[in-house]
Structures are given as C-alpha cells and as structure tokens.
Amino acid sequence: MRFDQARLDALRAAVDAGTFEGAARELSVTPSAISQRIRSLETETGRVLVQRSKPVRPTASGEVLLRLARQVDALGRDADAALGRERAPGDGDGDDGDAALPRLEPLSLAVNADSLATWLLPALQPLAGDIAFEMQRADESRTTELLRQGAVMAAITTDPAPVQGCSSVALGAMRYRPMASPEFVDRWLSSGGARRGGTGAQRLEGLTAAPVVVFDRSDDLQYRYLRFRGVEASSPPCHFVPSSADFVEAVRRGFGWGMVPELQVRDDDSLVALDPSHRVDVLLHWQQWQLHTAALARTAEAVRVAASRALRR
C-alpha cells in the first residue's frame, strides 16, 4: 500500500502540535483539511489512527504510520541536503535579499537524565552546528516506548531487544553507588556506623528510617538496594527530585541518601559511600531507526565513541 504524503504529513503535524488547529498552522491549510486528510488515511487503512483528544494522541495503528511519516520526512530532508537544497527561514517570501543560511537537520532523541547530565552533551556538541537536537527525557527503562510510538528517531535505553524497525547496539554501563553526606550518615545511620565501620545490624536499623532521595516514581534503584539489604522499600520516607544534577545536590545537602552515578561524583569528597562494596551497573543500549540519514549516522557514531570512553565495559 502506498500512502499519500499529504495525509501522512497531516497525521505527523497533528500529533506534534497536539491539535488539528496547530497542525493546520504548520502546514498552512485549514483545520478541516487536516481532519479530512487524517480521516481519509483512516478510511484507506481501515483503522482509527488518532484519539481526537487534547492533545491528539496516536492509537497503536497510528503509531505505525506516524513512524513511517517521520522516516519519510527524515529521508526527504537528507535528500534535500545532498542536493544542496538548503532553505533559509522564510524561504520563498522574497522580502529580503539575504543569502540562504544553512539549515540544521532536526533529530529527535529519547535520553535518560543521568546520561544527559554527564557524557551525552559533550558527545553531541561538535554536531550542534549542523543538527537541531530535540531531546525527550525519560527513564532509561521507558525510552524505547517513545521509539515504538514513532516520537523519536533514536533512544538510549536499558532494553537490548530492538523495537520493530530499529537496530540495537550495546553502549556500556553506568555505575551507581549508595551515597550520602557525612552529616547525614552521622545523624541517621546509627551514629555513623555505616561510615565508621558499624555493625550490619546498626546499618540495617538506620536504613529503615533514613530518608531516601528518589528521582521519580519510576526510579527503582534505591528500592532495589533496600530490598538487597532486607529492608521493606516502603519503610523510609522519600524525597522526589526529578533532575539529575539536583538529585545529587539534594544528596549532598543531606535530604537523604541515594544511588549516585560515579560519573557525577568523581573526585568529590562531599559524599561518602554507605556500602563501599555495593554497586549497580545499569547497561545502556543505543536503538535507532533502520534507515540511513547523514544526521542519524553521525549522531550514532558520536554517541558510540563517547560511550566507549565514559561507560564501563
């Protein structure tokens, strides 16, 4: 089945904008035209493709065609670049005589917060003059869902099994350790028992009541450590801090203990390890669409090289 490009564009624009009105503004047509094109696509496929809510959301069938629409759009932009058809903002207006400016190729990524806060931005910095990155932050266990929905072209994820239509490459592991400020350990963990060699019973007693810093409600690292130590995960109070840098800062300021990435606290003596022998290695993978564009290929190579230097093998 061959799909009409204008209909695919209407589907993509409606999901991106969240409304038919926003899609109409992007494509310079009426909201009625957007609605008619999507309905025609639904008639053509025999499937409901979007939930007509605010924001507009794709159905499972709509996700398949949304992914196709984004892939066709990406390939078209890549062909334009190869042919030297770079357009300046406002191209076609004829209202100024300025030479055409280079156009950055858009590329959407789903990334986990800790990679974003440590090694990923330096990896992508050399490409920022050519590629306009749209980064959607999500837990590393959930980024593949954005790939599956067609919302992004690539993702850093813990899932090694490739999403349909994607490839998967192992990047390495981010290492986490349970850490806290010395003052927090002194106050909560049995008079400093964890830091100064207190007994296992003392440390266990302290962990039952000591506050925990958690990134968000999908962050399971702290709870996994508590279960490993035989502590009921629901016992201690939690502070939720949904920012990677602020998470570490909250641990430094004594809000609670937390599983901190080694990459964020190297040569940092403001934190101490609660359990020096305990570590958690979170294996990361790079998944991307199985299509070739220059922007996607360059990004994948930059991520692979940076990960080989920053992550554990």
pLDDT at 88: 40
Domain residues of the chain, as ranges? 1-59, 175-282
Predicted local distance difference test score (pLDDT) of residue 277? 87
Ranges of residues in the chain whose predicted pLDDT is under 50: 87-98, 192-201
Is the CB of residue 52 less than 8 Å from the CB of residue 23?
no
| pLDDT recorded at residue 201 | 47
The whole-angstrom separation of Cα 197 and Cα 179 is: 15
- What is the longest distance spanned by two Cα atoms in the chain? 78
Amino acid 79: pLDDT: 83
Superfamily, domain 175-282: Periplasmic binding protein-like II (3.40.190.10)
Quick one: tokens of 291?
């299509």
Tell me which residue of 175, 181, 206 sits closest to 282, measured CA to CA: 175
Please tell me the predicted confidence (pLDDT) of residue 140: 86
8-state DSSP, 119: I
Fold of 1-59: Arc Repressor Mutant, subunit A (1.10.10)
Closest CA to 146 of 130, 131, 163, 129: 163
Contact 108, 152 (CB under 8 A): yes
For residue 194, the model assigns a pLDDT of 42
> E strands, the chain, where?
50-51, 57-58, 105-111, 131-137, 154-157, 166-180, 212-214, 238-240, 258-261, 272-273, 280-289
Q: pTM (2 decimals)?
A: 0.77
pLDDT at 86: 58
pLDDT reported for residue 203: 58
